[in-house]
């Protein structure tokens, strides 16, 4: 993902901060142990949210432990892992693989091609276990590329396509919750796509890359109400789910944390 789905640490209790960090560290360790240090470079707080969100809904058994981290060697790190830690690690590989391929296509930088090649074997292994999710990401990226490059590109089609890509990542398995999770992922995906466009507005104008905010004849600072629509839809679905574990932490992310980078860039201060 893009790094926007993170918490507002200043409004979390110390216990909540420790919980958040332990889930993040658990994901980092899982990526390293199962894939390697290079794959760990794609680690993000976005996937930490996925773990917290799905864990709150399904309440799987967790394992806790301390371990030494080469990136933070001075003291042991605490980590929490469960089945969704592995799932999030797998989805991290999927997204990193396609991002590397997309970056290579856009930028023609050799390191992007090399990184995509390095991730290919890991991606193929994940694809065997989660073909639906992998197919959704691959199809959506291809469709989005076609939409964005078409003359008179349709903004609504691009937004909907981006939502479709993320929707399947939130559906761990087909069950009673699938429809709600798919709708939640769709709306959050739309929000992330528009947020990324707002944040990359000036860069895209310079490079000539497609930018939906520019196509809508809007300025980034005018996007808050529009960004609020898909996010509001996601929140409405969120509030209907029976989430108890880490409820306040999840709300902190959705109701405030996701806005931090936008407010910092638009207003030069935090407003979440």
Q: Give the pair of three-digit tokens for residue 176.
A: 């009673």
| Residue showing tokens 């894939």 | 35
Q: What pTM did the predictor assign?
A: 0.93
Share of the chain above pLDDT 90, in %: 74
- Name residue 78's beta-bridge partners: 66
- Cα dihedral angle (121, 127, 128, 129), rounded to 10 degrees? 120
Q: Where are the alpha helices (DSSP H) in 150-246?
A: 155-167, 178-199, 201-207, 212-215, 224-240
| Distance (Å, whole) CA 139 – CA 180 | 22
| Residue showing tokens 């917290």 | 52
Residue 136: Cβ within 10 Å count: 20
Question: With 70 as the cut, is the pLDDT of residue 1 above it?
Answer: no
Question: With 60 as the cut, is the pLDDT of residue 235 above it?
Answer: yes
Per-residue confidence (pLDDT) for residue 72, from 0 to 100? 65
- Helix, strand, coil share (%) of the chain residues, nearest 5: 70, 5, 20
Per-residue confidence (pLDDT) for residue 108, from 0 to 100? 64
Which of residues 103 and 174 earns the better pLDDT score?
A: 174
Total residue length of the chain: 272
| Mean pLDDT over each residue of the chain, to the nearest integer | 91
């Amino acid at each position: 993902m893009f790094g926007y789905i993170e918490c507002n640490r200043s409004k979390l209790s110390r216990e909540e901060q420790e919980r958040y960090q332990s889930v993040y560290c658990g994901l980092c360790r899982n990526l390293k142990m199962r894939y390697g240090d290079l794959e760990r470079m794609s680690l993000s707080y976005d996937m930490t949210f996925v773990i917290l969100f799905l864990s709150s809904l399904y309440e799987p058994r967790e394992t806790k432990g301390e371990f030494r981290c080469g990136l933070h060697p001075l003291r042991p790190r605490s980590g929490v892992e469960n089945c969704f830690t592995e799932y999030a690690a797998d989805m991290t590989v999927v997204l990193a693989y396609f991002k590397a391929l997309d970056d290579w296509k856009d930028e023609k930088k050799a390191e992007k091609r090399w990184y995509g090649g390095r991730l290919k074997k890991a991606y193929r292994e994940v694809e065997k276990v989660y073909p639906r999710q992998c197919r959704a990401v691959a199809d959506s990226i291809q469709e989005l590329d076609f939409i964005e490059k078409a003359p008179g590109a349709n903004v609504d089609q691009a937004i909907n396509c981006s939502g479709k890509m993320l929707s399947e990542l939130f559906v761990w398995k087909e069950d009673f919750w699938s429809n709600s999770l798919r709708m939640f992922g769709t709306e959050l995906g739309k929000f992330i796509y528009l947020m990324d466009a707002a944040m990359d507005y000036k860069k895209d104008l310079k490079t000539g890359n497609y930018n939906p905010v520019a196509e809508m004849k809007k300025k980034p600072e005018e996007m808050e109400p529009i960004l609020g629509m898909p996010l509001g839809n996601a929140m409405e679905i969120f509030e209907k789910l029976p989430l108890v574990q880490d409820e306040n932490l999840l709300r902190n992310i959705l109701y405030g944390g996701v806005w931090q980078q936008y407010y910092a860039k638009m207003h030069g201060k935090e407003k979440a």
